[in-house]
Amino acid sequence: MPDLPGIADGLVRAVRFHRIAPLAHVALRETRPELAALLREDRDSALTHHVRATTSLEAVASVLGDVRWVVFKGPVLSETLHPATGLRSYGDLDLLVAPGDLRTACERVLGAGWQPLATRHDLLNDEVTGELEVGRPGSTLVDLHWSLVLSETMRRRFHVPTAGLLARSTPLTIGSVSARTLDPADTLVHLCHHAAFSAAMRLLHLLDVDQAARRIDDWQAVADRARSWGAVAQVGLVLGRARRVLGTPVPADLDRRLGLSRGFGVLVSTIDAASPTAAVRREASWPRRVARAARPSATRTAAAALRNGLVGAVDRARPARAPESSAAARREDVEAWIAAVEVVSGTASPTR
């Protein structure tokens, strides 16, 4: 790496934006120790957070008892997929339970001292959020999911049954906890889906996808899973972007297996070539718009991206709306949300 004016500041800003500062510290320790030193705090923070998260996972696991659950995202990726174990940047601890077990899981977790961190507006609306965020002093925040898809609007578009995810889950150990997580195909499809709606611009998300893809033995299972979820465009876009940026090995006929049009691949690769991922940090950029608007054909993707851009411009031109209520959710609000989940998931008891 050449010694150019401002390179240290630019490097620190870039790796922090892309959320790979701890990994950059490890990569630079031998060759550029003076640059690595600038990122030592990031490494220490990531490691401390991961230790706290594993301790929190142990506590939640003991409380959930016989409730079936899986852990996914942050600590799983840090332990199993990140090039530097334990140093992946992440925030919350994500757990998934069956909709029919949500009431019991919430009762046990809240009864053990965790408090709901959502607002009343987060819980009491027609979208019936797919998660409840809870926390307690000294612990990592926990997102307790009943669905991987976080709103009714999105669940009408993406079909991701929790029962199948739990049935296919695989065992792993995190710290001292014997747990289960999503199987390899579900993990990769979910990472692509999550990355696409986060704009698929940060190198951390592409690195997650790259590492997950390198562990896939059955690509037809990935294609079939993406089709069943309705997430073929997100999987094709993010894997294509990871291949161009990181050299991720994917089958040459992946787009055909996913049922994507040839024009879709041309559109995405052309936009990525014009605005390389590593250089784009603006919110209003075409790679971001296309990732969030991805549909199985180029025409539908472009139309959705243009429509979203127009809606965004109109919203920005409108007078600011009054902020939504930030009143903290109460136990009765959590109860009302659980009841709504049971209705939309078809698990409501006839006696309730």
Q: What is the pLDDT of residue 2?
A: 58
Answer positive or negative: Cα dihedral of 183, 189, 194, 195: positive
pLDDT at 129 over 70: yes
Cα gap 206→208, rounded to integer Å: 5
A 10 A CB-CB count for 278 gives: 13
Work out the average pLDDT over 83-109.
96
How much is the pTM? 0.92
pLDDT at 318 over 80: no
Cα gap 161→147, rounded to integer Å: 8
Work out the average pLDDT over 43-54.
96
Residue 316 vs residue 175, higher pLDDT: 175
Cα gap 141→145, rounded to integer Å: 13
Cα gap 118→124, rounded to integer Å: 10
Q: What is the dihedral of CA 277, 280, 286, 287, to 10 degrees?
A: 20
pLDDT band at 8; cut points 50, 70, 90: confident
